[in-house]
A and B are shown apart, each in its own frame.
Chain A
Amino acid sequence: MAEEKQTNEVKKIVPPVDIYETDNDIILLADMPGVTKENLQVDVNNDELTISGMFLEDEDNNANKLIKEYIYGQYSRIFTLSDVIAQDKISAKLDNGVLTVTLPKQEKVKPKKIEIEAG
């Protein structure tokens, strides 16, 4: 069989996410197992948050595969940011294959406790 030149067609993987809201932030958690800090990208551009990362197979392809239930490829997902988010304060961390993006709310939309003075 003629050895085909690998076209390296990278498969797209949509990472599952949890998004929740606290008083001060919106927190996004994305499962991106196999991704290292070096090949992870978190971008904010034009009110869009893009997360992407590569999940690559080991160089060693000679191993005989007995079971294969998952695919390698590129994780990628885009989210639209509302104007509630302070875009310049977004931060991210990667821990055990889980990406956590903290999206702080603008000061003006944070709930404020109003003290009631005794009359």
Chain B
Amino acid sequence: MRLALWDPFREIAMIQRALDSTFGTPRITYPPVEVTDKDDIITVKAILPGVDKSKLDLTVLGDTLTISGEKNPPATEGVTYIRHERPYGKFRKLVELSYNVDQDKISATYSNGILTVTLPKAESAKPRQISVE
């Protein structure tokens, strides 16, 4: 157990988890993500079809990545909707990375409606081999 500085984002995430457990089925906030760990690189993939890249905002604080942005409704004036199922509007997602990452080496790409963020672990978070003399 380690002491950490107060992190408001983590507090929000905790509240969200508490709400989720109270109201039954865990609610996945938009966008759904997949987080993987391989070769000391954390990769976050988010399902974000049809989003304007310039409206995406990524920030990292400690071991939490925040993906926020806005998805415009396709509606134009003078049209009649028959079905409206696709989500739109403002979104904000906190993703727990489980590790601290190197802020200077983060990169992101967006293709086929999937945002991929590559976050190499911070030196302090990498496993270290200790030789026994």
Contacts and interface: CB of A to CB of B under 8 A. Distances in A.
Contact of B84 (A18, A27, A63): A18
A66 B51 CA distance: 25
B33 A64 contact: no
B49 interface: yes
A108 to B, nearest CB: 19
Interface in B92-110: 95-98, 110
Nearest to B83: A19
Interface residues of B, number: 36
B114 A34 contact: yes
Contact of A21 (B36, B51, B79, B98): B79
A36 interface: yes
Nearest to B38: A63
B37 A31 contact: no
Interface string A50-79: 000000000010111111111000000000
A44 interface: no
Nearest to A100: B74
A98 B35 contact: no
B36 A63 contact: yes
B85 A65 contact: no
B48 interface: yes
Contacts of A16: 85-87
A97 B86 contact: no
A23 B74 CA distance: 16
Interface of A: 16-23, 26-27, 29, 31-36, 60, 62-70, 95-98
14 contacts: A17-B83, A17-B86, A18-B86, A20-B80, A20-B81, A21-B81, A31-B50, A31-B86, A63-B37, A65-B36, A69-B32, A69-B33, A96-B112, A97-B49
Interface of B: 28, 32-38, 42-43, 47-51, 74-75, 78-87, 95-98, 110-114
Nearest 3 A/B pairs, CB to CB: A97-B113, A33-B113, A97-B49
Given A29-B86, A70-B33, 4 more contacts: A17-B83, A23-B78, A31-B49, A67-B33
